[in-house]
Amino acid sequence: MKSIKTLAFIALTAIAFTSCKKENTETPEIKVATATSSEEVAANLETASFHIDGMTCEIGCAKLIEDKLSGLEGVNTAKVDFENKTATVTFENGKQTEKTLVKTVEGIAGGELYKVSEVKSSTDKA
């Protein structure tokens, strides 16, 4: 009986090692990031900040707005500060504008909940 258990264990171990081994027959793809492409993206980044009226809670409202803004194409970062009722968004100039960010926030829940004001951009002159 002991020898049967030992043989079964050895057989299962051998099957596990041979079945889990995956051979990679594909040629690995090499991706090279160029410094100019990251510099171009950095040059196109803008930051917008604005005040949001209508937020009533941090977990629901602020998190929802932050998620909606973060999900937009070209948005690098989006942070919503519930205490100060502000949002700060870093985005690619060619893919988003301050107007599209405001439209996204004010369009949440059919446009009835949130109103944006005091929009400031990194491209504004002091």
Digit-coded pLDDT (tens) for 81-123 = 999 999 999 999 888 889 999 999 999 888 788 999 998 888 7
CA terminus-to-terminus distance, the chain: 87
Q: Looking at the domain assignment, is residue 11 inside a domain? A: no
The predicted model gives 31-53 an average pLDDT of 70
- At residue 51, the pLDDT reads 94
Q: Is residue 40 part of a domain?
A: no
- Return mean pLDDT, the chain: 79
Number of structural domains in the chain: 1
**Residue 46 tokens, joined:** 């803008």
Report how many helices (DSSP H) and strands (DSSP E) the chain contains, helices first: 4, 4
In this structure, what token pair is assigned to residue 26?
């594909």
* Position 15 confidence tier, pLDDT thresholds 50, 70, 90: low
Mean pLDDT of 23-39: 54
Domain contains 64? yes
What average pLDDT score do residues 49-76 get? 91
15 is a domain residue? no
- The candidate with the shortest Cα–Cα distance to 67, out of 36, 103, 105, is 105
Residue 104 included in any domain: yes
Q: What share of the chain is helix, strand, coil (3-state, %, to 5)?
A: 45, 25, 35
In a domain, 95, yes or no: yes
pLDDT score of 20: 45
Amino acid letter, residue 109: A
For residue 29, the surrounding DSSP H or E stretch is none
Instruction: Report yes or no on 35 lying in a domain.
Output: no
Q: Tell me which residue range forms the domain holding 64.
A: 45-121
Write the CATH number for 91.
3.30.70.100
Q: What is the value of pTM for the model shown?
A: 0.63
